Structure 1
Amino acid sequence: MPHDVVIIGGGHNGLTAAAYLARAGKRVLLLERSDHLGGAAVSADAFEGVDARLSRYSYLVSLLPQRIIDDLGLDVRLVRRRFSSYTPDPSDPARGLLVDNEAPSTGSGSTAAAFARVDAEPDAAAWQAFYADTAHVAERLFPTLTEPLPTRDEARDLIGDERLWREFVERPLGEVIDARFASDLVRGVVATDGLIGTFTELDDPALDANRCFLYHVIGGGTGDWDVPVGGMGAVTGELARAAREAGAELVTGAEVVSVDPAGEVRWRQGDESGERMAHADVILANVAPAVLDRLLEAGAQASPASPAATVGVPSVVRERLRHLHAPEGAQVKVNLLLTRLPRLRDTSVAPEAAFAGTFHINELETQLDSAYRTAARGGIPSPLPCEIYCHTLSDPSILSPELAASGAHTLTVFGLHVPHRLLERFGNDELRERLQSAVLASLDSVLAEPIEGVIATDAAGLPCIETKTTLDLEEALAMPGGNIFHGPLSWPWAEPGAALSTPAERWGVATAHPGVLLCGSGAVRGGAVSGIGGHNAAMAVLEASVA
């Protein structure tokens, strides 16, 4: 029996779409190629014989709207972190900037005093003013992410402040940061939100950093990044439950091999040699647009009469275009289990405070610029800019009671400016080893003891450290180039001249084929763990069904 909707990909967006559509009475089939659901938002026993469920890939939540949690009845708990960030001064790691969200306005523990410790006292007021501005933008824009696309002019009117529009939308992020802050260290802390997973210069007029920055500071209408209790798998586990209970059919071990825009999906189950077929009125692609293109091309070859965007284009040209426009990730992810938190060179800050927020290492603005230039030439930055967070300080439930009682903690490290193109010079195994060494060296540069001395060991006596390159992400998650956003981020509005005549176009999920919609991070307003792509695709399907 034909389905109303076939969803390709069982990540959080696909599960969100499945839950909404099944609750609306649609017959939904979701196909996931791996043996588990959740995509990048999963928890895993990463180390043999160690009872610790790490958020293996994605690790914090900011963009998941409360609307989705309420609509689907999700039992999801998010913990707000008291400390925003800690940044040791690379020139003198015995001091650092600790940003406490609960700091008093005056006194030795105030925000001004914290900035003064790194000779940046004049930037304390600028910091407060800057993030008051981002909070204003977040409050105005975030609610629109689960509504039909506003136009660019409507978004501008919603913000209602021409200075803020120019600063965040029209001028390169680096120019704005340099105009508002004097300290190299403070500039770097601000700038990193524009560079996570994005390989670009802060002053690039293409404004890739601006778009990345915007999504990092508008989540929840506040910009806060919260810790999911139970790890990321708890979030997708709830989404899967909601979808199943609503009647969606969720199939794992199902690799889609082709898509016909007329409504046919061919797929293989496990090790079966033959192909199965599913038919639906609508196909939702919770895969990167580049992956969808390949599936559509395969569908066109299987059904020559079907329309496809690449028909008539010589294969050599298609391959060249695909290479030129291939998404590129630019990060390395390292998971660690420690026997205890390491001691800092800065003895005035407790490790429990430093690691409770985002721990920035070697992320001066000048260091970020230098790292970009090194990587653009094909080298690995030294020192490597890194960001770290400790899940277990906010939520120890991912550890067994015995492990938590022992003082063990997890660390998640995200290294910046290591683009996928480095694989042209290094093999993946060599690159993984080099990047892991670079991450540990960056950590050691600000610690009072080598990090390797506090890394736990697994059942085989091996260090509990796991490193994921962009190629590892591509192979495990089908993210082309290891790009965590599935491709370039778009502004969260419709640009002038954009077609808005169909529900799919109005919700930002349209493709060249009316019966095929994006429902993942590649949709307009996609990216990060949000469920927004899935929600908006489901809304487009439901709107079209009653038109």
Structure 2
Amino acid sequence: MNEIAAQLGQVGLPEPVSALAARRWDTIVVGGGHNGLTCAAYLARAGQSVLVLEARERLGGAATLERPFPDQRFVISPCAYVIGLLDETVIRELDLHRRGLEVYLADPQLWIPFDDGTAFAQWMDHERTEAGLRSLGVSPKDIAGYFAYEEMFDQMRIKLRKGRRDSWAGESPSRDELEEMLGGDAYMIDVLFRASIEEVLSEYVSDTRLRDALYGQGIIGTWAGPKDPGTAAVKLMHFIGEVEGHGAAWGYVKGGMGMVSFAIADAAREAGAVLAAGVPVGEVLPGEGVRLDDGTFIAARAVVSNADPKRLMTMVGDVPADYRRRIDEWDIRSPVVKFNAALDRLPSWNAAPGETFMARGVVDVISTLDEAQVAFERCAAGEPAVGFGEIYFQTSHDPSPAPEGKHLVSVFGQYAPYGMDWGARRGEVARQFIELIGRYAPDFEDCLISYEVLGAPDIEERVGLTGGHIFQGEVRPDQMWENRLTPRTPIPGVYLCGAATHPGGSVIALNGKNAAMAVIADMS
């Protein structure tokens, strides 16, 4: 474990603020999330003097580690849970495995219980998945359709990430270039730019159990229901990466997702970047540097914002009107609510009483596809309606973040709106989570020691993401690819490196590398 990881990212001040302000830096990075740290690492490796200023007392942004429960032996990542999109190039170039990154593949990749006591399991072993589908009584046609569905998305991944160029590295390809990368395949083009996840599922399978089991991958983190346009592309985005050489897969990080940020921070520091936490920036002065909340001015040739673009607009004065308008219109509506808990034991599921194998993978608890659409519509009308939860049991692979014999569970849930009265209704949302999980694991509530519910306003307050949107903005097609923000802004000497930039949200790190390459090119 590197030193930053041992401190859970609480690096403090490396020297007095007055000493930091006495230097003129090549680049200041505002925000110490994983993308800001990645940007700093690449800039420092290129020989720049780099200062990272993080407002919170710990590094990592949404991918950090905290102790939110009365029993401080439980350590949890509050908002980021599993790894699947962290770029392999960044892992290799920053030597993250040497710095403590250790990954366990989730298997089953998905396990989804049904009300009748059966369950769908998507294993790393396709033959095992097929055997499970046969035992469910799924027709041969739908079994073939299911595998064709997954293969279609995987072929899109290969075409977009493994061809002549990686569509995620550097500037986004144009729509014409993306269509060419997909070989002009009209169906794939429709999936990338328009289709709903419900449409695509219906094209491949008729069994309602499979449609209900699989729609969640098209809505996760998204202000949409499964019947809404663009949700098929959300499924693609979440399965366009690879883990430990396995394409379209997800896994757990030893110690929790904060260890990703801390490994990147170690690379940045080793390259010469200076990391400072507990130092909020109040103003960005283009071409000059930044002014801290306490009034201290620190000079820099360039400023890179890992803070989300709406937050950046509050820190910079003179912005071209069309750019400010674009940021004002940037869609950050979030339906996401997080349920993190310490458990006395793992729950027992109706579909597999007394078994714990599913906890080594990813568990989805669901309502039907039609019910999920209604839940989104209720959320859009201002009402909480938690009808989908993706559940992660960190301690099934890695017991280190909990006391011996105890467990951690995190749930990525939907739907609950930002604008409701969270003070009055937080308990209601917690109850919806407990009842949804208890529908399939009746003893879940009895397993709880402590829990927290984080709605979008809580994520905004804790992590600093405007609107609480964990992807710094919607990831449906109208805000992806060439419609995503670019590292270069029209503000002289000011750049973006966060999830609002191409290639999008999640723990990817290419956003940070892409920004660093833009800064280096512009300063050359």
Q: Normalising by the residue count of structure 2, what TM-score does the alignment of the two structures yield?
A: 0.87
- CA deviations over 1:437-456 (Å, ceiling 9, x no partner): 11001111112x33121223
Task: Give the Cα separation in 2 of the matches to 1:165 and 1:327.
Answer: 25
Does structure 2 conserve the Cα–Cα contact (< 8 Å) formed by 1:285 and 1:516? Answer: yes
SS in 2 for 1:242: helix
Task: Give the Cα separation in 2 of the matches to 1:110 and 1:138.
Answer: 21
1:226 aligns with 2:248: no
SS in 2 for 1:374: helix
SS in 1 for 2:280: strand
Task: Give the Cα separation in 1 of the matches to 2:476 and 2:378.
Answer: 27
Task: Give the Cα separation in 2 of the matches to 1:155 and 1:126.
Answer: 26
Does structure 1 conserve the Cα–Cα contact (< 8 Å) formed by 2:384 and 2:417? Answer: no
Instruction: Give 2:308's match in structure 1, choosing from 260, 274, 288.
Output: 288
Q: Which deviates the most, 484-493 or 388-397?
A: 484-493
Instruction: Give 1:267's match in structure 2, choosing from 292, 299, 302.
Output: 292
1:365 aligns with 2:369: yes
Instruction: Give 2:434's match in structure 1, choosing from 419, 440, 459.
Output: 440
1:377 aligns with 2:377: no
- CA deviations over 1:125-162 (Å, ceiling 9, x no partner): 11111111111111222333123332222222222233
Evaluate the alpha carbon distance shift between residue 411 and residue 330 of structure 1 in structure 2; reply closer, same or farther with a 3 A threshold: same
- CA deviations over 1:354-384 (Å, ceiling 9, x no partner): 2322212123211211211222232222x62
User: What corresponds to 2:482 in structure 1?
Assistant: 494
Evaluate the alpha carbon distance shift between residue 240 and residue 100 of structure 1 in structure 2; reply closer, same or farther with a 3 A threshold: same
User: What corresponds to 1:398 in structure 2?
Assistant: 401
1:86 aligns with 2:91: no
User: What corresponds to 2:517 in structure 1?
Assistant: 539
1:124 aligns with 2:115: no
Task: Give the Cα separation in 2 of the matches to 1:10 and 1:52.
Answer: 23
Evaluate the alpha carbon distance shift between residue 455 and residue 218 of structure 1 in structure 2; reply closer, same or farther with a 3 A threshold: same
Instruction: Give 1:414's match in structure 2, choosing from 409, 412, 426.
Output: 412
Does structure 2 conserve the Cα–Cα contact (< 8 Å) formed by 1:15 and 1:240? Answer: yes
Task: Give the Cα separation in 2 of the matches to 1:146 and 1:322.
Answer: 23
SS in 1 for 2:59: coil
Read off the aligned partner of 2:145 and give its amino acid letter. A
SS in 1 for 2:122: strand
SS in 1 for 2:60: coil
Quote the offset at 1:119 in angstroms. 4.8
Instruction: Give 2:502's match in structure 1, choosing from 510, 524, 530.
Output: 524
1:453 aligns with 2:446: yes
SS in 2 for 1:60: coil
Count of residue pairs brought into register by the alignment:
489
Q: Which deviates the most, 284-293 or 209-218?
A: 209-218
Task: Give the Cα separation in 1 of the matches to 2:75 and 2:518.
Answer: 36
1:309 aligns with 2:325: no
Does structure 2 conserve the Cα–Cα contact (< 8 Å) formed by 1:335 and 1:413? Answer: yes
1:149 aligns with 2:143: no
Task: Give the Cα separation in 1 of the matches to 2:476 and 2:273.
Answer: 30
Task: Give the Cα separation in 2 of the matches to 1:536 and 1:360.
Answer: 33
Q: Which deviates the most, 472-481 or 174-183?
A: 174-183
User: What corresponds to 1:460 in structure 2?
Assistant: none
Evaluate the alpha carbon distance shift between residue 202 and residue 512 of structure 1 in structure 2; reply closer, same or farther with a 3 A threshold: farther
SS in 2 for 1:144: coil
Q: Normalising by the residue count of structure 1, what TM-score does the alignment of the two structures yield?
A: 0.84
Does structure 1 conserve the Cα–Cα contact (< 8 Å) formed by 2:310 and 2:328? Answer: no
User: What corresponds to 2:14 in structure 1?
Assistant: none
Quote the offset at 1:48 in angstroms. 2.4
SS in 2 for 1:44: coil
Does structure 1 conserve the Cα–Cα contact (< 8 Å) formed by 2:363 and 2:392? Answer: yes
- CA deviations over 1:477-497 (Å, ceiling 9, x no partner): 1111111111122655436xx
Task: Give the Cα separation in 1 of the matches to 2:135 and 2:357.
Answer: 18
Task: Give the Cα separation in 1 of the matches to 2:139 and 2:424.
Answer: 40
Evaluate the alpha carbon distance shift between residue 243 and residue 338 of structure 1 in structure 2; reply closer, same or farther with a 3 A threshold: same
User: What corresponds to 1:345 in structure 2?
Assistant: 350
Evaluate the alpha carbon distance shift between residue 175 and residue 409 of structure 1 in structure 2; reply closer, same or farther with a 3 A threshold: same
Task: Give the Cα separation in 1 of the matches to 2:303 and 2:72.
Answer: 40
User: What corresponds to 2:274 in structure 1?
Assistant: 249
Evaluate the alpha carbon distance shift between residue 529 and residue 176 of structure 1 in structure 2; reply closer, same or farther with a 3 A threshold: same
User: What corresponds to 1:237 in structure 2?
Assistant: 262
Read off the aligned partner of 1:189 and give its amino acid letter. A
Q: Percent identity?
A: 28
Evaluate the alpha carbon distance shift between residue 355 and residue 340 of structure 1 in structure 2; reply closer, same or farther with a 3 A threshold: same
Read off the aligned partner of 2:468 and give its amino acid letter. G
Task: Give the Cα separation in 1 of the matches to 2:71 and 2:474.
Answer: 39
CA RMSD in angstroms, aligned pairs only: 2.5
Task: Give the Cα separation in 1 of the matches to 2:327 and 2:504.
Answer: 21
Task: Give runs of aligned pairs for residues 74-223 of structure 1, distance below 5 A.
Answer: 74-75=96-97, 76-90=101-115, 92=116, 94-104=117-127, 111-114=130-133, 116-117=135-136, 119=138, 122-142=141-161, 143-160=166-183, 161-205=185-229, 207=230, 209-220=231-242, 222-223=247-248
Quote the offset at 1:102 in angstroms. 1.8
User: What corresponds to 1:476 in structure 2?
Assistant: 462
Does structure 1 conserve the Cα–Cα contact (< 8 Å) formed by 2:51 and 2:274? Answer: yes
Read off the aligned partner of 2:344 and give its amino acid letter. T
Task: Give the Cα separation in 1 of the matches to 2:218 and 2:146.
Answer: 16
User: What corresponds to 1:304 in structure 2?
Assistant: none
User: What corresponds to 2:39 in structure 1?
Assistant: 17
Does structure 2 conserve the Cα–Cα contact (< 8 Å) formed by 1:99 and 1:114? Answer: no
Does structure 1 conserve the Cα–Cα contact (< 8 Å) formed by 2:227 and 2:373? Answer: no
SS in 1 for 2:118: strand
Task: Give the Cα separation in 1 of the matches to 2:194 and 2:428.
Answer: 38
Read off the aligned partner of 1:33 and give its amino acid letter. A
Q: Which deviates the most, 357-366 or 535-544?
A: 357-366
User: What corresponds to 1:334 in structure 2?
Assistant: 339
Task: Give the Cα separation in 2 of the matches to 1:255 and 1:121.
Answer: 59
Does structure 2 conserve the Cα–Cα contact (< 8 Å) formed by 1:520 and 1:534? Answer: yes
- CA deviations over 1:190-232 (Å, ceiling 9, x no partner): 2212211111133334x2x244222111012822111111211
Quote the offset at 1:276 in angstroms. 0.9
Task: Give the Cα separation in 1 of the matches to 2:209 and 2:304.
Answer: 44
Is there any run of 5+ residues in structure 1 with no aligned partner, and where?
Answer: 269-273, 301-306, 457-463, 499-504
Read off the aligned partner of 1:411 and give its amino acid letter. V
Is there any run of 5+ residues in structure 2 with no aligned partner, and where?
Answer: 1-22
Task: Give runs of aligned pairs for residues 18-57 of structure 1, distance below 5 A.
Answer: 18-57=40-79
User: What corresponds to 2:5 in structure 1?
Assistant: none
Task: Give the Cα separation in 2 of the matches to 1:373 and 1:33.
Answer: 36
Quote the offset at 1:116 in angstroms. 4.5
User: What corresponds to 1:459 in structure 2?
Assistant: none
User: What corresponds to 1:502 in structure 2?
Assistant: none
Quote the offset at 1:397 in angstroms. 2.8
